[in-house]
Amino acid sequence: MNFRTPGPFPPLILDDVLGAQKMLSGVARVTAMEGSRHLTELVGAPVHLKCENLQRTGSFKLRGAYVRIAGLSPVERAAGVVAASAGNHAQGVALASELLGVRSTVFMPVGAPLPKVAATRQYGAQVRLHGHVVDETLAAAQQYAQETGAVFIHPFDHPDIIAGQGTVGLEILEQCPEVRTIVVGMGGGGLAAGIAVAVKALRPDVRIVGVQAAGAACYPPSLAAGHPVSIGSPTTMADGIKVGRPGDVPFDLVRDLVDEVRTVSEDELSSGLLLCLERAKLVVEPAGASPVAALLSDPESFRGPVVALLSGGNVDPLLMQRVLTHGMVAAGRYLSLRLRLTDRPGALATLLAALSVVDANVLDIGHVRTDPRLGLTEVEVELQLETKGPEHCEEVSAALRDAGYLVMG
């Protein structure tokens, strides 16, 4: 996504976030703060999870959308609002508009997950499917705004949006006053900027760490250049932070107030999502799991107590299935092996007995008999195993080799 919003705007200050907090009273939930024993053990200091995945519409986006739309003039409200989004922002704008009695139109890509499209409609928005990538969807929404006079609600590049997102930071300080590090996922930067404005004004000693997907990391080159730059076509499973260019408004705030921006790989995102599901019993989308991924990748580098912000939980079930499988592989919980056996009765049973001794669960078995590389009496067996982690994978492979099997990986 490459978004631009005309400016300039006046500087955002703590009073703006405090005002947004009053406006959101009774609208946005004060979401839970949950401790994580597993992450605490890894980091060596208390780690808490701020659960914005449990917010209304399933993400923090309602906060900024409501503040932005509530601030419109009566004339602007009468013209309606329009937004472009593949998911979270769409739902936030739709619900905020419904609560405020404003007509909303949301453009979504043709391939947007059906649950997100359905939820956006249920929140009261008129949904228009246009384009196959968000850039095309954005262009259609902006053209609609020009033709109809509807107000375009930007996902992150506006002070009201940032002030609304910043209320998460106020809640973190209230719920965990001893916090020393806040870790937050970043796309265009609106959430991190808002949190930084609130937290640094009240607790300048708190370290704020932004996290981006390595394939959509627009902030590192922008910070190096001193101004927002585009990275072209971002690539990541974390669509909530899949942004190709920082917002002009949040960029200055991130540059001045966010202490560090890190990147995480797709494997690390998968592992973070899997940990949230298995250990915290929380459904979190890949973007929402990015702070946990950062903690897993380098746990000893974070000063505690740490608050990791789970920004959203809107994940398509089909994507969840793929991500969980990817996360299991990345965590060493799946093992794929190929072995050659003598093609005789009982050979497979003997192999399975050897696997049961090392407590490896067989998920799938395939036989290959027609490969020209095989001898006349040979068969190749492909195994998909469920294991307990990297050390168990090594134990299983070693046990098979000790039993005389040729393990080919």
What residues are labeled active site?
Answer: 61, 311
Alpha helices in 26-152 (DSSP H): 37-43, 61-70, 74-79, 88-100, 114-122, 134-148
Kindly give the interhelix angle for 266-278 and 317-330, rounded to the nearest 10 degrees.
100
Instruction: Please provide the DSSP assignment of 320-358 as one string.
Output: HHHHHHHHHHHTT-EEEEEEEEE-STTHHHHHHHHHHHT
Contact 90, 120 (CB under 8 A): yes
Backbone angles phi, psi at 145, to 5 degrees: -60, -40
Paired residues of 365 in beta bridges: 383
Q: How far apart are CA 220 and CA 204, in angstroms?
A: 22
**Number of C-beta neighbours around residue 200 at 10 A:** 19
Paired residues of 407 in beta bridges: 339
Contact 192, 198 (CB under 8 A): no
